[in-house]
């Protein structure tokens, strides 16, 4: 822990340190949550025999060789999003748009779990899926978020929580085409 910056220690005070093996198990957990992969992309390409940094849709940072971006948009995937995604602690961009992701695995934990340890997340694009949860509260801890896109899902819930104001970097918030209730602020 000695080499970590104070911010990092605070963020992970209840966690052990993570490394590329953590990233690999997080991605393998995602693969295990895919029930249909029509193009067999993950099935053939996402193999523990090669480094995750070479897997389709995965980008690693050149300096620290950790997963910084995951882009599986428009890949005809059906499945759920496991909470282990929250272990990709260097992730800056998560783009799963235009698939059939139906839920976050372990829905009861979604409120705090998955997004709580993604302090670097800047782009979250989950539009055009079949997500049916509420907006995860852990999201409001991702202080670097600039883009949130949940458009065209089946998401529910009422008024936006005031914690939205914590996301001071937010530029784009797309929530249309869902089943939200109540009056929504216009951004």
Rule CB under 6 A: choose which of 41, 53, 76, 164 binds ligand NAG: 76
Contact between 28 and ligand NAG by CB under 6 A: the answer reads no
Least distance (Å) between residue 76 CB and ligand NAG: 5
Rule CB under 6 A: choose which of 11, 83, 122, 129 binds ligand NAG: 83
Angle in degrees, CA 139, 145, 150, rounded to 5: 60
The CA distance from 122 to 84, in Å, is 18
Rule CB under 6 A: choose which of 28, 59, 65, 71 binds ligand NAG: 71
Candidates 3-11, 48-56, 80-88, 174-182: pick the segment binding ligand NAG (CB under 6 A): 80-88
Residue 61 dihedral angles phi and psi, to the nearest 5°: -70, 140
User: With contacts defined by CB under 6 A, how many residues of the chain interact with ligand NAG?
Assistant: 22
Closest chain position to ligand NAG (CB): 74
Q: Contacts with ligand NAG in 112-131 (CB under 6 A)?
A: 113, 123, 125
For residue 149, what are the β-bridge partners? 125, 174
Q: Contacts with ligand NAG in 37-66 (CB under 6 A)?
A: none
User: Do you know the residue count of the chain?
Assistant: 187
Q: Contacts with ligand NAG in 155-184 (CB under 6 A)?
A: 163, 166
DSSP 18-40: --HHHHHHHHHHHHHTEEEETT-
Residue 163 dihedral angles phi and psi, to the nearest 5°: -60, -15
The CA distance from 53 to 67, in Å, is 7
CB 182 within 8 A of CB 159: yes
Q: Note the residues at the interface with ligand NAG (CB under 6 A).
A: 15-16, 18, 22, 71, 73-74, 76, 83-84, 86-87, 93, 95, 98, 113, 123, 125, 140-141, 163, 166
């Amino acid at each position: 822990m000695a080499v970590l910056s104070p911010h990092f220690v605070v963020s992970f005070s209840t966690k052990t340190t993570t490394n590329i093996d953590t990233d690999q198990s997080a991605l393998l957990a995602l693969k295990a949550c895919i029930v249909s992969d029509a193009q067999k992309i993950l099935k053939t390409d996402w193999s523990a025999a090669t480094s995750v940094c070479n897997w389709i849709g995965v980008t690693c940072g050149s300096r620290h060789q950790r997963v910084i971006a995951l882009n599986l948009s428009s890949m005809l995937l059906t499945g759920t999003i496991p909470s282990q995604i929250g272990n990709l602690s260097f992730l800056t961009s998560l783009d799963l748009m235009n698939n059939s992701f139906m839920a976050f695995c372990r829905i009861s934990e979604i409120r705090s779990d998955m997004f709580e340890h993604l302090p670097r997340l800047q782009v979250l694009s989950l539009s055009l899926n079949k997500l049916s949860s509420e907006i995860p509260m852990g999201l409001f801890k991702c202080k670097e978020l600039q883009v949130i896109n949940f458009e065209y899902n089946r998401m529910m819930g009422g008024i936006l929580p005031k914690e939205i104001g914590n996301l001071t970097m937010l530029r784009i918030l797309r929530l249309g085409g869902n089943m939200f209730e109540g009056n929504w602020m216009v951004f």
